[in-house]
Structure 1
Amino acid sequence: MKSTCVIIPCFNEESRLDVDAFLTFDAFEILLVNDGSEDYTKWILHDLAIKNRRISNLQLDKNVGKAEAIRQGVLFLKGKFETIGYLDADLSTSLQEMERLIEIHKTSTYKIVMGSRLKIAGSQINRYWWRHFSGRLIATVIDSIFLKAGIYDTQCGAKIINGKTAQELFKTPFETKWLFDVELLLRLKKSSKNNSLNELVKEVPLSRWVDDGDSRISFKDVLKLPLSFYKIYKRYL
């Protein structure tokens, strides 16, 4: 069984994909998933897979959203990796930071190790204030109602998961597109009845995280939050 593969969903990324970063990195396997892009993303990913032997690509015919694109990536890997991760295409969390999370996961018994955009002394967390404020508000609601585990940042797009666990957690489609990270944690909690989330999940403050300002979360998505919360509550609680 191979070691680690990090899945990166890509939708219309031709203007912000850091090609050089991908071409020069070889610490772990990367699966780039083209989520039905309408620009030249498809061809960029294809070219990266040719030039870097540690990169492969999966082409989806239509846009299915981040949650389903990652799920399709997990299914595509067919349990061949001991560890599976996922990461945002803009590399706001760098590939080097992911390597650090992977090493932490390898030396622990946690099922999931997740990055956290917690601004502490020595860290470089550059995030627009309104996104930080809205993110904290949503995270507080999520943890107080659904998780109750003191998790600071469910929505950080950098997570490392035990391979077998990932196959189980991503087996079926998610109810929501944007809050699927919350569903993932609730699925983990349900599958491990004798363990609390604090025993299964470790949050690691990131050393560096850069907000590129190009949020894929629209105002329409924000308006759908109450419905998303309801769907999660109905299915998991």
Structure 2
Amino acid sequence: MNQTLFIIPFYNEGKRISFEEYLQIMGASNEIDFLLINDGSSDDTLDILNKLSEKLENCTVYSLSQNSGKAEAIRQGILHSEKRYEYIGYLDADFSTPVSEMIRLLDNAKNDKKLNIVLGSRVKLLGNQVVRSQARHYFGRIFATIISKIILRVPVYDTQCGAKIIKADIAKKLFEKPFLTRWIFDVEMLLRYKISYPDFLIAVKEFPLETWIEKGNTSIKLKEFLIFPFQILKIYFHYDKRKA
């Protein structure tokens, strides 16, 4: 039995899903189980996912009846997984983080048993291939500074990268309850860990990705960016009183 599960949420991705690409990538990664979450799509996303599941033994589909957002889709996926996995990871449907990079993060987690959470980090370094628009890069740096200095109060560079690896037993605890926000739930997840476990600085680690390519056409709309400050405040006041 495979010891790792990768969860990928989908919402109205029918026109962007390359069936053959998914078939090839997931078929080549047969040491990993994939759980594809249909987040209440209104197009043919579910049909495509079901066809992938029919072709691949390491691929299953879980469909939500209505759109609930990325946070809840991943949460439901983690809680829905019935097999006993050692690690659970999640990544975005557009493969901006390639599965090969997820496996590299997984290897880093396995090589250091002290690590309970491994974060992919989109750091542009000489020799790697991290491609982001300037606007997203600068917005991300402002956001990350606020999160690092005020909310988490630890030096995290990139909470919003969609590539995470978490020990399965820890993931089920951190995702047990619904999140306050739809898009910055990663911050809440890290806060939950920081509040509940005393080893944050040695058990949570970021690794720069060698490849991350922005694919565009993000499902995060302008209004979501505009309400980010309010979401940050919501998280701050909800969790601040619980911090040790």
Of 206, 212, 218, the residue aligned with 2:209 is 206
Q: Work out whether 1:131 is the aligned partner of 2:130.
A: no
RMSD: 1.2
Is 1:116–1:203's contact at 8 Å kept on the other side of the alignment? yes
| Separation of aligned partners in 1, 2:79 and 2:181 | 18
| Gaps in structure 1 of 5+ consecutive residues | none
| Separation of aligned partners in 2, 1:118 and 1:226 | 23
Is 2:10–2:45's contact at 8 Å kept on the other side of the alignment? yes
Matches within 5 A, 1:1-237: 2-24=2-24, 25=26, 26-78=30-82, 80-108=84-112, 109-192=114-197, 194-195=198-199, 197-237=200-240
Q: Which moved more, 1:134-143 or 1:23-32?
A: 23-32
SS in 2 for 1:224: helix
SS in 2 for 1:229: helix
Q: Which runs of 4+ in 1 moved over 6 A?
A: none
Is 2:123–2:130's contact at 8 Å kept on the other side of the alignment? yes
Deviation digits for residues 89-127 of structure 1, max 9, x if unmatched? 000000111111111111112110111000111100111
| Separation of aligned partners in 2, 1:18 and 1:44 | 9
| Separation of aligned partners in 2, 1:19 and 1:152 | 34
Q: What number of residue pairs does the alignment pair up?
A: 235
Is 1:128–1:213's contact at 8 Å kept on the other side of the alignment? no
| Separation of aligned partners in 1, 2:209 and 2:18 | 20
Deviation digits for residues 125-177 of structure 1, max 9, x if unmatched? 11111111111111111111011221100000000000000010000000011
Percent of residue pairs bearing the same amino acid type: 46
SS in 1 for 2:3: strand
Q: Give the structure-2-normalised TM-score.
A: 0.93
